[in-house]
Amino acid sequence: MEMKRSRMEEVVELVAKLAASYTGLEHSSVTYETAQMLMGAVLYCIQEYEGQQKEGMLEGDSTPASQAYQMGYEKVLEKTIRLKTLYHDMISEFQDYGMKCLSEVIMQGIPAFLVNYDAKYMPQDTILTLDYPILESMKGISGVDAVFRYMQCICLEQKFLAVFEGTYVTDVLRVFHEDYEDLFENICEIVLQNMYGHLILQKPFAKLEISREEHEEIEKTVAEKTVDELEADVDQMIMTVVERYFKNDVQLYQYLSKDSRNIAVRVKHWVYVKN
């Protein structure tokens, strides 16, 4: 949807002012690439003000673009501070469980983002590739919005994984793949998938050894269920775990349950390949 011309003119004026600030008033014009970058910066802040990131966010809004931009810019700064606080609150007890891609993002990537993030001229730049895969899609968000949400998801994962004692998590990862450290896999997904297998067997999670007969029992149970039925089982398992060990933490359940379908598909595929 196109913006009204008068509003577009306001935005162009903001871009011009930002360009003057960017060049230090030394030049009367900027390159096309720089103009595009600064236009993106203005629109990102206005979107932040609007509380959404989609085309047409200015439609029907009577707030002057300059005011919307300034308030959005302040929100970007505020979220950057919140990200820094969230990171520092989490990092003292952070565990990467040997997963290199997770370690690199958290120990190197996030600090680099906090140092290099340009809230004024490039707030739309996420900077990081965020290689460790979380259970939630990051499509459609960028900049500090993306990194802040990513960190929130990492904190939820850390909370979930911390409930397991000793070397349980790393043992599960090792069973999944001998050289799991170099994989680009989500740790919670692997743990939940393992837990579902034990749920089928009605076997304690800590008992990682699964006999040939038990493997056959899992395969038989999975083969008899549809993906939808498996998804419902996994979702119920997650709900039960969250209720029992996390005082029914709604945010944690909502996050982990995003993976219910994917786990069901992976388990079904595993049995299909085995047979």
CA distance 216 to 34: 61
Report pLDDT digits (tens) over 112-142.
Answer: 999 999 999 999 999 999 999 999 999 999 9
Q: In degrees rounded to 5, what are phi and psi of residue 179?
A: -110, 50
Position 134 scores a pLDDT of 98
Position 272 scores a pLDDT of 60
Q: Which residue has the tokens 């969250």?
A: 242
Structure-derived torsion over alpha carbons of residues 45, 46, 48, 53, reported in degrees to the nearest 10: -110
CB-based contacts of 14, cutoff 8 Å, min separation 6: 42, 65, 66, 69
Position 53 scores a pLDDT of 39
- CB 98, CB 180: distance < 8 Å: yes
Region of 147 (left: φ > 0; alpha: ψ -120 to 50; beta: rest) is alpha
Q: Report which DSSP code applies to 259.
A: G
Report pLDDT digits (tens) over 72-104.
Answer: 999 999 999 999 999 999 999 999 999 999 999
Give me the residues of the chain with pLDDT under 50, please.
1, 4, 53-58
